[in-house]
């Protein structure tokens, strides 16, 4: 018997020390490089 | 070439750090790209970025990352912009 379709579960417990580490570094870099304009 | 963060870039044109970020996003389920990006933005904010302008820039950059990285089925992440209220 096939169960109900389950939507892929996102990682609710975000592990900031590991997950999307490169993206975090990129966001930080872009935010800090932003100047006037 | 114009270097606009909202324009998608080919992998050869991306800075190494951005390419790593794109690789991470490509590993995510399309439905989870925006939630995880929101988590990443929040994590960066919590690292000590208290300036409203910096925080806005973080979310603005994260909003367009799926498009920049050519993530399938995801164009932008409609993050809520932080809106400072009247200071009176």
Distance of CA A21 to CAs A3, A5, A30, A35, B6, Å? 35, 31, 14, 24, 21
| Residue of A21, A23, A12, A27 lying closest to B55 (CA atoms) | A27
d(CA A14, CA A23): 13
pLDDT at A3: 39
Q: Which pLDDT tens digit goes with each residue over B65-76? A: 999 999 999 989
pLDDT at A35: 56
Chain pair A-B, CB pairs under 8 angstroms: 83
Query: In chain B, what percentage of residues exceed pLDDT 70?
Result: 82
CA distance A14 to chain B (A): 6
Residues of chain B neighbouring A31 (CB-CB closer than 8 A): 44, 49, 54-55, 57-58, 61
d(CA B68, CA B5): 7
pLDDT at B4: 55
d(CA B81, CA B83): 6
pLDDT higher than 70, residue B81:
no
pLDDT at A26: 96
pLDDT at B1: 43
Q: Which residue has the higher pLDDT, B30 or A35?
A: B30
- ipTM summary value: 0.80
Is residue B47 within 8 angstroms of chain A, CB to CB?
A: yes
Q: Which pLDDT tens digit goes with each residue over B10-37? A: 777 889 999 999 999 998 888 888 888 9
Mutation pick from B3, B5, B61 vs chain A, by most beta carbons of A within 10 Å, is B61
Q: Which pLDDT tens digit goes with each residue over A10-24? A: 655 454 446 789 999
């Amino acid at each position: 018997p096939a169960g109900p379709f389950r939507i892929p579960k996102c990682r609710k417990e975000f592990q900031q020390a590991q997950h999307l580490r490169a993206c975090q570094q990129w966001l930080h870099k872009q935010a800090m490089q932003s100047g006037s304009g | 070439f114009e270097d606009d963060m909202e324009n998608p870039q080919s992998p050869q044109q991306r800075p190494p750090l951005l390419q790593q970020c794109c690789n991470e996003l490509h590993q995510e389920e399309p439905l989870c790209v925006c939630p995880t990006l929101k988590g990443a933005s929040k994590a960066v904010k919590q690292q000590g970025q208290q300036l409203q302008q910096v925080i806005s820039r973080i979310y603005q950059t994260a909003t367009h990352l799926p498009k920049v990285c050519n993530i399938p089925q995801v164009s932008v992440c409609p993050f809520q912009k932080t809106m400072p209220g009247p200071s009176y």
